[in-house]
Amino acid sequence: MTADLGLTSPHDGPARVLAASECAIDIDDVVARYPRMDHPSIDHVTLKVRTGALLGLLGPNGAGKTTLLSLLCALMRPQSGAIRVQGMRFDDHPEAYKDLIGLVPQALALYPRLTGTENLAVFGQMSGLSGRQLRARMDFAIDFAGLNEMAQRRVETYSGGLRRRLNLATALLPDPPVLVLDEPTVGIDPQSRHAIHENLRQLSVEGKTIIYTSHYLDEIEQLCDDIAILDRGRLIAQGSLGALLARFTGNRIDLRLEPQDAHRAAGVLSGEPGVQSVTAAGSLVTLATDDPHRRLPAVLAALEAAQLRPVGLSVGPRDLEQAFLSLTGTELRDEP
């Protein structure tokens, strides 16, 4: 329903021109549902991620970010649709497919009774590493996480930030071309968050394809070049940060109406003088206009004439946070 209004833009931006070889992740019209749930948790999501991209997957709690990553990592099966990583499907080559992706789970997936080094050794071997190669990758990971002398201590004695960094470093052991991080900075100090962001930028520069989920907009804004916004299982916007800012921020009039009226209102307002574009998503109608305050009386009059009554209204330039709020009708809550 939103697709025809141009709000979801799977073929928009860089994705449109991707050759198969450039496309690291290809999620094609995927629907996924948990057992005994009425609504799908992922609802016809199409998302292409180019090789080397650092994509921020943004969405409030319960939007389906973890579910989408689970599908990507073959922890969960889609009900319909297809997923390819570097052109490969899980069902065709399960083991090789898993070798392509490093998952940094939302929960800290480490053995607390084991030391940092022991955790790295265990997961390194589980990933198929051994011998000199394992030791080299472990050294890299210890360095990457900044474990230093803490490497010989049990993980249960680590600070939250150090655990998060080790959690990330563990996923990097097999040096996978695709790295998938599920809210990797939840509940840590700003320094650790900064360190992780620096690490990710470095990895991105080195050519890894990274998906980074968060419900913190500022974090995504700082870190990622490409953004996808997920809400209630649907991808409601996707594109470069600049493109999204241009589309959803700036001089705007946001009108909230009864959901059944939104489409009609969009039709009524599309001919108004000074209104450059009209988009409707759910109960929200957004007008891009040269001067919101000057145009507002005429807009309201046009609605009145069509017997449409807005229930909410906001006028003026917005930042992405407000854009997100108006798009999803949801606050980006802080607590998971």
Partner 1 sequence: MRRLHQLRAALTKETLALRRDVEALLILIAMPAVFVLIMSLALQDTFAHKIPEPMRVVLLDQTHGAFASQFAGILRKNASLRVSQEAATGAVARVRVREAARTGRVAFAIVVTRSRGTQSSPARVILYANPALPAQVRALGVSLVRQAIAHLDVIRLVSRLRQAGLSGGPGGWNQRLQSSARLVVAKGGLNGAPTPTSVQQNAPAWALLAMFFLAVPLSVSLIKERQQGVLLRLRALPVPSWVLLAGKIIPYFVINMIQLSVVLFEGRYVLPLLGGDALDMGHAPGALVLIAAAANIAAIGYGLLVATFVRTQEQATSFGAVSVLIMGAIGGILVPTMVMPATMQRFAVVSPMSWGLDGFQAIFVRGEGVTGILPDMWRLLVFGAVCLLVAAMRFRRELRPQ
Ligand X SMILES: Nc1ncnc2c1ncn2[C@@H]1O[C@H](COP(=O)(O)OP(=O)(O)O)[C@@H](O)[C@H]1O
Q: Pick the piece of the chain touching ligand X (CB under 6 A) from 10-18, 65-73, 164-172, 262-270.
A: 65-73
Nearer to partner 1, 90 or 324 (CB): 90
- CB 219 to ligand X: min, Å: 15
The verdict on 66 binding Mg ion (CB under 5 A) reads yes
- CB 180 to Mg ion: min, Å: 12
What residues contact residue 143 under an 8 Å CB cut-off, 6+ apart? none
Structure tokens at 273: 């003088």
State how far the Cα of 293 lies from the Cα of 313, in Å rounded to an integer: 12
- CB 326 to ligand X: min, Å: 19
The verdict on 328 binding ligand X (CB under 6 A) reads no
DSSP state letters, 119-167:
HHHHHHHHTT--HHHHHHHHHHHHHHHT-GGGGGSBGGGS-HHHHHHHH
What residues contact residue 260 under an 8 Å CB cut-off, 6+ apart? none
- CB 332 to Mg ion: min, Å: 13
Binding pattern for the stretch 30-49 against ligand X, x by CB under 6 A and - elsewhere: ----x--x---x--------
What is the 8-class DSSP label of residue 212? E
The verdict on 128 binding partner 1 (CB under 8 A) reads yes
- CB 36 to ligand X: min, Å: 7
Nearer to Mg ion, 70 or 209 (CB): 70
- Buried b or exposed e, range 243-254, using 16+ CB within 10 angstroms: bbbebbbebbbb
Distance of CA 157 to the CA centre of its chain: 31
Which amino acid would we find at residue 195?
A
Selected from 53, 68, 129, 325, the binder of partner 1 by CB under 8 A is 129
Nearer to ligand X, 49 or 287 (CB): 49
Q: Pick the piece of the chain touching ligand X (CB under 6 A) from 54-62, 122-130, 154-162, 202-210.
A: 54-62
State how far the Cα of 135 lies from the Cα of 105, in Å rounded to an integer: 23
Contacts within 8 Å (CB) and 24+ apart, 32-35: 32/67, 32/71, 32/76, 32/77, 32/78, 32/79, 33/79, 34/67
Selected from 5, 18, 61, 249, the binder of ligand X by CB under 6 A is 61
- With CB under 6 A as the rule, give the number of residues binding ligand X: 11
The verdict on 74 binding partner 1 (CB under 8 A) reads yes
The verdict on 170 binding partner 1 (CB under 8 A) reads yes
Structure tokens at 209: 């394809």
> Given the rule CB under 6 A, which residues bind ligand X?
34, 37, 41, 59, 61-67
> Given the rule CB under 5 A, which residues bind Mg ion?
65-66
> Given the rule CB under 8 A, which residues bind partner 1?
35, 73-77, 90, 94-95, 98-99, 101, 103, 105-114, 118, 121-130, 154, 170-171
